[in-house]
Amino acid sequence: MKSLIITLLCSFCLSTTNAQSYFRQCGIQLLTKQNGLSNNTLTGIYQDKVGFLWLGTDVGLSRYDGIHFHNYNLIDKEPRALAHLYETSNNLLWSHIANLNQIACFDKMRGIYMPLISPTPEVLKDIQDICVLQDKLYALTSNVIVELKMEKNADEIRLTAQPLIDIKTKVLRLYNNEDILCALTVENQILLYNVSDKSSEHINGTDLGIVKADNIEKIHIYNNNVWICDQTEGIICYNTNTKTSRTLNDNSQSSFIQKDIRDIIQIDKTTFIIATWSSLSAIRFETDNYLQSPFHIIDLTQHDSYYTPILKNRITDIHFDKSNNVLWVGTFGRGLLKLNLKGNDINRILLNDEIRYVNGIAQDADGYIWLVTEKDGIYKSIENKIFPNLRFSLWEKSNKNNHYCLHKDRNGGLWFGDNKGNILWVNPTTVKQ
């Protein structure tokens, strides 16, 4: 009998599956040079209104239509890192050549890079950053923010620099958010400048706990809330109406949101995706009152060896395609990662942080989901409805140190076996052992 038990255990437990791996099988794809990508190092991601994905690399632009890559390499053989991709209504794609302090202009309709001229050519060699708001191109130079008024000719683009005289302070970086130009200043302040009415607001970084302005990676504005990604302080949410803020690294959650924050993007009213240099996480608030609402964070890539060589210290940019519910992740040297967060026929269930390896899954007669794990115990869903926010609780009769497997018989009974030779039978309706 003992040998039979061991045989049964072996047959059940050979199918050990990493928990995150199990739930990512609904759609993940790594696209590299072998798939036609021009370069495996991505420095920018932009999706146009038609749906094409444009990728900035250190050799030029790549366009992805969902099947094929179309590469538009720069003529120069020297590396040209194209970052911060934007589009204007005249079918021009603009990008910042970070390693040269210049900009590149690509005509989407003609498929060529356009030469740039200016009555002040020195400006075009002193571009620290760019952004596009209300179909206007803005650039940061060493001394001032300018609007680059464009005149499109057949063979070239003429750019005339017009300084924004209302902005007096020295700026380090630009961020675009619909009608608001966000500027990070050397005085450790965040400037919110409305390009329509030329009004402005200054947010004191010191009051928010920001030690050094250079540590800020990204700034977004979502529904009157300014989201600040700080490499050392974590994620800070500032409400422009109440003038109050909240830092999300309040030690009530996992430590991975406390440093190396790369970006945060909004998925829906209460859900955001967080990217660090090495990981991807989902943060869900119970309400849209972000300054007060409890939240839960789920690491999307933790405990999954598949992601480690792709993402570790390599995430360069992220983009969320809302129409298709796809998250695109750019990396340094590993290519483009595509993750389907939702599907028409598949629900992605994000597990509790403590659940690592799933050995078996079954649904009982009442609709509850049971999970057996390796060294994490047996879990039962709190509710009997399947939805993305489904939570699980540890079954009190399980042992967290045991390696479990699971079988559901024809009558709906659940059989649990462990590596100690124990077998439990549970009536799923009465949960009686």
Q: Are 254 and 299 in contact (CB under 8 A)?
A: yes
* Residue that wins the pLDDT comparison between 433 and 58: 58
**Is the predicted pLDDT of residue 172 greater than 80, yes or no?**
yes
Mean pLDDT computed over 10-17: 32
**Is the predicted pLDDT of residue 205 greater than 80, yes or no?**
yes
The pLDDT value given to residue 302: 66
The pLDDT value given to residue 348: 58
Q: Are 237 and 290 in contact (CB under 8 A)?
A: yes
Mean pLDDT computed over 374-396: 83
**Is the predicted pLDDT of residue 282 greater than 50, yes or no?**
yes
**DSSP state, 125?**
G
**Is the predicted pLDDT of residue 26 greater than 50, yes or no?**
no
**344: left (phi > 0), else alpha (psi -120 to 50), else beta?**
alpha
**205: left (phi > 0), else alpha (psi -120 to 50), else beta?**
alpha
The pLDDT value given to residue 342: 66
The pLDDT value given to residue 47: 96
**Is the predicted pLDDT of residue 247 greater than 80, yes or no?**
yes
Percent of the chain's residues with pLDDT above 90: 50
Percent of the chain's residues with pLDDT above 70: 86
- First CA to last CA across the chain, in angstroms? 21
**Is the predicted pLDDT of residue 228 greater than 90, yes or no?**
yes
Q: In what order do the strands lie in the sheet with 378-381?
A: 17-18, 357-363, 369-373, 378-381, 392-394
The dihedral built from the CA positions of residue 276, 279, 280 and 286, taken in this order, carries a sign that is: negative
Mean pLDDT computed over 146-172: 93
The pLDDT value given to residue 52: 94
**Is the predicted pLDDT of residue 139 greater than 60, yes or no?**
yes
Delimit the domains of the chain by residue range: 2-13+352-426, 206-302
**Is the predicted pLDDT of residue 23 greater than 70, yes or no?**
no
CA Rg, the chain, in Å? 26
* Residue that wins the pLDDT comparison between 365 and 12: 365
* Residue that wins the pLDDT comparison between 28 and 107: 107
Taking the model in full, what pTM does it have? 0.74
Q: Are 352 and 364 in contact (CB under 8 A)?
A: no
Q: Are 335 and 353 in contact (CB under 8 A)?
A: no
Q: State the average pLDDT for the chain.
A: 84
